[in-house]
Amino acid sequence: MNEVFDFTNLILLGLAVFILFKLRSVLGKRTGNERPPFDPYAKSERKETDENAGPSDSDNVIPLPGQGASQAPSAEQQKKRDDVVIEKVAPAGSALNEALRKILSVDRSFEPEPFLEGAGSAYEMIVMAFAAGDRKSLKNLLSKEVYDGFVSAIDDREKREETIESTFVGIDKAEIVEAALKDNQAQVTIKIRSQLISATLDKSGEVIDGDPSKVTEVIDIWTFARDTTSRDPNWKLVATESAE
Burial class (CB in 10 A: 0-12, 13-18, 19+), 162: middle
pLDDT tens across 80-96, in order? 888 888 999 999 999 99
- The amino acid present at 166, given as its one-letter code, is S
At residue 242, the pLDDT reads 81
Predicted confidence band at 243 (pLDDT cuts at 50, 70, 90)? confident
Predicted confidence band at 67 (pLDDT cuts at 50, 70, 90)? very low
CATH number attached to the domain at 75-242: 3.10.450.240
Q: Is 115 helix (H, G, I), strand (E, B) or coil?
A: helix
**Separation CA 244–CA 242 (nearest Å):** 5
Cut 0.75: pTM above it: no
- The amino acid present at 99, given as its one-letter code, is A
Residue of 185, 188, 213 lying closest to 198 (CA atoms): 213
Strands in 29-162 per DSSP E:
none
Question: Would the pLDDT of 158 be above 90?
Answer: yes
Share of residues in the chain with pLDDT > 90 (%): 61
Of the listed ranges 40-44, 190-194, 223-227, the one predicted with least confidence: 40-44
pLDDT tens across 100-136, in order? 999 999 998 899 999 999 999 999 999 999 999 999 9
Residue of 197, 83, 29, 20 lying closest to 12 (CA atoms): 20
